[in-house]
């Protein structure tokens, strides 16, 4: 067991070190940009994974926190001139608060399973409509962030800048997931996922644990929002609260392996690669996405426990779904 753990540890260290040097050795900026998108998506997936994978609270509204965070730092920047280094913490706080708000309403009334999934979907629509209708978000016009490259503004001329930023975010997210698997809080979340009543009977304050989980998810989503806003310099309600992004978050996580440390990263990596490769080899619009869809269905059909099943030996990992 300790051997396995330490082997994983060594692999992770090697992975991090290799990742740090990727931009040095890879001259192709496109790869760096795609890698930062993969990392960004993995980070969002991990944020979903805390609540969805570990705590078992399946959400269709993961984008809420992303959008709220993006708005928080962007509004601070454009209205008050507060630079995004501070803004990102505001975004984290805003994401966590949005989590608190939604979690409080949903969990207070005991919503579980598909009911929770659907209420988060509804909230993401509410947030979108509100962002569209109020003044301080710029309404339907959205928010433009001035193009002003510089580390102070969290804007980089070299894609490697965003790559490193995304890498740091992913490493933090892996650390969070790793900590979850080793901690009491994580054990409680998993217990809630497996059987909430039983967890409650054993003294787990399920409501509070779920609130914490959704706040962590929200905080991570908020940080991702700032990253996005500073990279693409524009957000509007359809971008900030797109159902597509919510779907992508759960997609990469489930395909990779829900409730596992590396699931979201693996899922993001594979799905983006499949997409890019299909796009590369097939010129006809639409056809490449058909191929992508077929591969997606095939992965799920043949690896019902996610891609991480490929990497796992028979040894069952904590929190991972084992074959029945």
Cβ of residue 243: shortest distance to other proteins, in angstroms? 8
Cβ of residue 86: shortest distance to other proteins, in angstroms? 23
> To which residue do tokens 């705590």 refer?
55
Of 35 and 89, which CB lies nearer to other proteins in the complex structure? 35
Of 22 and 172, which CB lies nearer to other proteins in the complex structure? 22
Dihedrals phi, psi of 320, to nearest 5 degrees: -75, 150
User: What CA–CA distance (Å, rounded) separates 38 from 40?
Assistant: 5
Of 4 and 198, which CB lies nearer to other proteins in the complex structure? 198
Of 33 and 93, which CB lies nearer to other proteins in the complex structure? 33
Nearest-5° angle of CA 152, CA 216, CA 275?
75
Of 189 and 216, which CB lies nearer to other proteins in the complex structure? 189
Cβ of residue 165: shortest distance to other proteins, in angstroms? 14
User: What CA–CA distance (Å, rounded) separates 67 from 240?
Assistant: 4
Joined together, the tokens standing for residue 254 give 């489930």
Nearest-5° angle of CA 271, CA 70, CA 63?
45
**29-49 and 263-281 are packed helices; what angle lies between their axes, rounded to 10 degrees?**
140
Burial of 182 (0-12, 13-18, 19+ CB in 10 A): exposed
Cβ of residue 50: shortest distance to other proteins, in angstroms? 16
């Amino acid at each position: 067991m300790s051997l396995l753990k330490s082997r994983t540890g060594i692999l992770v260290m090697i992975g991090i070190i290799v990742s740090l040097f990727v931009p040095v050795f890879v001259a192709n900026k496109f790869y760096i940009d795609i890698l930062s998108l993969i990392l960004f998506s993995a980070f969002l997936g991990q944020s979903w994974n805390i609540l969805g994978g570990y705590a078992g609270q399946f959400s269709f509204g993961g984008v809420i926190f992303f959008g709220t965070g993006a708005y928080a730092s962007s509004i601070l920047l454009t209205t008050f001139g507060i630079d995004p280094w501070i803004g990102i913490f505001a975004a984290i706080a805003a994401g966590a608060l949005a989590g608190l708000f939604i979690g409080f309403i949903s969990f207070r009334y005991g919503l579980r399973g598909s009911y929770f999934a659907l209420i988060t979907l509804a909230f993401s629509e509410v947030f979108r409509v509100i962002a569209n209708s109020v003044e301080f978000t710029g309404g339907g016009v959205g928010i433009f962030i001035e193009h002003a490259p510089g580390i102070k503004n969290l804007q980089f001329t070299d894609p490697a800048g965003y790559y490193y930023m995304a890498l740091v975010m992913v490493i933090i997210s892996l650390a969070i997931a790793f900590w979850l698997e080793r901690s009491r809080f994580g054990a409680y979340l998993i217990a809630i996922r497996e059987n909430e009543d039983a967890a409650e009977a054993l003294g787990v304050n399920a409501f509070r644990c779920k609130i914490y989980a959704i706040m962590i998810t929200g905080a991570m989503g908020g940080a991702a929002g700032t990253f996005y806003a500073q990279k693409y310099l524009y957000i509007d309600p359809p971008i900030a609260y797109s159902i597509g992004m919510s779907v992508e978050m759960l997609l990469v996580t489930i395909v990779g392996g829900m409730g596992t440390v590396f699931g979201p990263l693996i899922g993001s990596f594979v799905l983006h690669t499949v997409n890019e490769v299909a796009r590369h080899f097939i010129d006809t619009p639409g056809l490449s996405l058909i191929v992508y869809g077929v591969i997606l269905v095939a992965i799920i059909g043949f690896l019902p426990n996610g891609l991480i099943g490929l990497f796992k030996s028979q040894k069952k990992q904590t929190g991972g779904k084992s074959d029945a």
